[in-house]
Structure 1
């Protein structure tokens, strides 16, 4: 999956080179945004109703980044807008947060699902995130108003960094469930698998250990020999196979389920909040205020557990993001088949 908030716990790993991103903004047709990626199943209203007195030809342009979770959420937005009666231009699958942000700022798109931590750290340039989800959301919402963007109420879904332990090791590690318990383990059991980017981040591995009373490189803390620096995407499998006891993960990654990993509680709230929320151009929302309710119906149902299952269907089972979005929304009663 889905590290830009890093630019999202999804961002740097899914962020394309800036030059390519800019090229994509300048020439969307050359970025694979046409028929194949614009497909969604035919849709009819459910709890999301046709908007009364919607002007003929009313249109909205929806964008998304190009990793699994973003694609699924983007397709949800497209389906919701279609069910409400809009003509939708689907600009999902854009490489990188920078390109997507530019589309929103320059009027090339009207709506995107984005993450509070990504906005705060990457777009708005702050040095540290805010662990409290409500405070982080409010800070982003208030500051981004000046950019002509409105952040609607966020979902419970918080795709942030976390540490996970393989299920088979929990009993051996005294039933461990939270990060604060790691310091109570013998030094030989304090073994970690992390990506190089997380290992060097100011909000990454070393400061995380310090927060939980451990020093990286100290014989009585976490010796360097206890840490394996792995390529992006290999940490999950390495952790599941027992190469280490604890692995760096993103909290909504479907591989947590498929590999039977257990996310540990960040009981000192070290990691910043990365709640997802619908973001609209303020001018679009003022023109169609009903969009607040439409996208709010989706947000109210999005949780980490639910998104893990949806991401799993794409990343492990090989289903199309549009189909996963449609089936989930239909099951939730948000939309129906025509």
Structure 2
């Protein structure tokens, strides 16, 4: 409990910001969904055949996996709050449409006839009779949609929209239960509070509800315009994938850029989940810079396959840089020293018991293996499929979230995992990394990736980022990851300490 309270105190500013972002995204999505679904449902009560089709369409939209929907929206509308709101609106349509339709359609026909007998027009009958009677059912649907929106909005953190999902993702990635609980508990409490508020709105007149909703929507819109106007003209957005290592790197980028280029303001967007999210965001000008690995470029980001087998680290980088320039007019700056390649790891006691030290030696204990691996590794050609082919193995793995696979091998639920060579958990859990004795895994050297036009516009930024070229060893990177994930130090402080110790940043800066 003491740790929970201390974390709340230490991260109170970040928590308030995340809470506000979550409320903003959720309320805007709910209001837009209401403006679409309620009028459409009212119209559908007069067109029964169309109503059945609309219900089916809304139901199908709700079954689309949220991550898939976000991935589809990024190339169209970019990253941030916009795709998050669109996705949440899509999920909220069904409960609001369905409750409105049912609430009006099931009104006693004798009441409808009485209203007509009194000479009420269709609009007057709707406002004075139908909507007040159907209000409890409609509000029930709105409450259901609100709860669904708040829960799903946690995924907005994956595309730079912030919210309480930031705490959940950080907690999972850094094996920090307290952060996960704060994010989950905050989301649950927010759902309860807003659900109660909506329930109380049953006593408010329809006219006031409509006016209040429009005022809230306009208020959020005005706040967005003000924030846009306040942004400095020369602002760079630097993003990073999910994990401590990208977070450390982007803080290094920020420190170096702002030290050497006082007129340039940097905004960080950490903890993007997928490589494809970030790459599409860069190509569509939603982010300006992010750290990418040379092996990932050749294996996952190029439209035309490139044979990277047997290449040296320098050759891998040069092929990646040349291909990115030709394909998307991107500039790939000079790489750092360390090679954060894929690896396979087992427990040290298993390595001794089985006398296994190379990947090829797994063949002799294949029937004893219980692999747990990330979905990305299971799917990538330079991951499990390629390993099976190169080493003559027939492994199939249970897919796991990156951090959870380490917990699983530590507790003995699995006994073989994929890893990155700089992962702090290799040290934390005393795992043995198996030698890639047939040289299957390509080289993965990290370097800043940006559009060529940006590199030309900001030569000072390029010069600053190139200070990291040829620096940071595997051991240093693993130690920095250990400080963040295990010692729970902030990525910003770890990044700054490295830069100062290596005379790249003045001790008094930032």
Query: If the length of structure 1 is used for normalisation, what is the TM-score?
Result: 0.73
Counterpart selection for 1:296 from 466, 470, 489: 466
Q: Which residue of 1 aligns with 2:325?
A: 145
2:346/2:432 contact within 8 Å kept: yes
Q: Which residue of 1 aligns with 2:31?
A: none
Q: Which residue of 2 aligns with 1:117?
A: 295
Match runs of 1:266-281 below 5 Å: 266-281=436-451
Distance 1:190 1:252 in 2: 24
Match runs of 1:1-338 below 5 Å: 17-19=70-72, 21=74, 25=79, 27=81, 31-32=161-162, 59=234, 61-68=236-243, 69-86=245-262, 87-93=264-270, 95=272, 96-127=274-305, 130-131=308-309, 132=311, 133-146=313-326, 147-174=328-355, 176-183=356-363, 185-214=364-393, 216=394, 229-232=398-401, 233-338=403-508
Distance 1:210 1:30 in 2: 37
1:129/1:272 contact within 8 Å kept: no
1:120/1:126 contact within 8 Å kept: no
Distance 1:201 1:283 in 2: 31
1:65/1:97 contact within 8 Å kept: no
**Distance 1:279-1:228 versus aligned 2 partners, 3 A rule:** closer
Long gaps (5+) in structure 1: 1-13, 38-56, 217-221
1:24/1:94 contact within 8 Å kept: no
For residues 71-124 of structure 1, the C-alpha deviation after alignment (integer angstroms, 9 at most, x for no partner) is: 211111000011113322214226343443344334444432112233334332
User: Across the two proteins, how many residue pairs are aligned to each other?
Assistant: 292
**Distance 1:229-1:106 versus aligned 2 partners, 3 A rule:** closer
Q: Which residue of 1 aligns with 2:108?
A: none
Distance 1:120 1:30 in 2: 25
Q: Which residue of 2 aligns with 1:44?
A: none
Shift of 1:164: 0.6
**Distance 1:207-1:115 versus aligned 2 partners, 3 A rule:** closer
Distance 1:130 1:116 in 2: 10
Distance 1:276 1:329 in 2: 17
Query: If the length of structure 2 is used for normalisation, what is the TM-score?
Result: 0.50
Q: CA RMSD for the aligned pairs?
A: 3.3
For residues 256-295 of structure 1, the C-alpha deviation after alignment (integer angstroms, 9 at most, x for no partner) is: 1211112222121222333211223323333443444422
1:150/1:282 contact within 8 Å kept: yes
Long gaps (5+) in structure 2: 1-66, 83-158, 168-231
Name the SS of the counterpart of 1:17 in structure 2: helix
Shift of 1:137: 1.6
For residues 233-260 of structure 1, the C-alpha deviation after alignment (integer angstroms, 9 at most, x for no partner) is: 3222232344444322222222112111
Name the SS of the counterpart of 1:165 in structure 2: strand
Distance 1:206 1:292 in 2: 37
2:500/2:506 contact within 8 Å kept: yes
Higher strand share: 1
Shift of 1:209: 2.7
**Distance 1:267-1:126 versus aligned 2 partners, 3 A rule:** farther
1:159/1:250 contact within 8 Å kept: yes
For residues 6-32 of structure 1, the C-alpha deviation after alignment (integer angstroms, 9 at most, x for no partner) is: xxxxxxxx9993156466626489713
Higher helix share: 2
1:194/1:229 contact within 8 Å kept: yes
Name the SS of the counterpart of 2:354 in structure 1: coil
Distance 1:213 1:272 in 2: 18
